[in-house]
């Protein structure tokens, strides 16, 4: 647990959770917006893309700030990790059944990884923030 609560551990787990969210975004773009929601408007797809770019860009900024010792970066990384774990992971598992039916089994894998790695990143960053 010592490595996980270190700065390097917080950065590493945050990067893994970020990659999980990026993977989810690719699957959403390929399967959810094209096959599961064939009537999605261009504005909806554009809004989704903009939201994803802002979220990923914010997380990258937070990770760089954490690497430089910023407390604000830790807070931002914690918030985005909680979003990934609770909304992208847990809420998807609860609210959407079946999960990405056109992307099985990848959809299940990536959503479970959002839950596990998002909450693990939130825990590790939270421990770092507290200490």
Please state the domain count of the chain: 1
pLDDT tens across 50-60, in order? 999 999 999 99
Is the pLDDT assigned to residue 89 strictly greater than 70? yes
Give residue 94's domain range.
7-130
What mean pLDDT do residues 73-93 have? 91
* Mean of all residue pLDDT scores within the chain: 89
CA–CA separation, 103 and 57 (whole Å):
26
Q: Is the residue at 27 inside a domain?
A: yes
- 97 or 90, which is more confident? 90
| pTM listed for this prediction | 0.88
Question: Tokens for 101?
Answer: 């039916």
Question: Tokens for 80?
Answer: 């985005």
Q: Is the residue at 1 inside a domain?
A: no
Residue 1 CA to its chain's centroid (Å) = 22
């Amino acid at each position: 647990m010592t490595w996980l609560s270190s700065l390097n551990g917080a950065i590493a787990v945050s990067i893994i959770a970020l990659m999980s969210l990026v993977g989810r975004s690719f699957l959403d773009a390929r399967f959810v917006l094209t096959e599961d929601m064939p009537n999605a408007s261009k504005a909806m797809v554009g809004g989704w893309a903009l939201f994803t770019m802002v979220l990923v860009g914010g997380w990258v900024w937070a990770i760089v700030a954490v690497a430089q010792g910023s407390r604000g970066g830790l807070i931002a990384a914690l918030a985005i990790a909680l979003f990934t774990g609770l909304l992208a992971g847990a809420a998807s598992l609860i609210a959407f059944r079946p999960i990405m039916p056109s992307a099985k089994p990848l959809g299940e894998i990536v959503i479970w990884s959002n839950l596990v790695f998002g909450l693990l990143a939130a825990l590790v960053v939270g421990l770092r923030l507290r200490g």
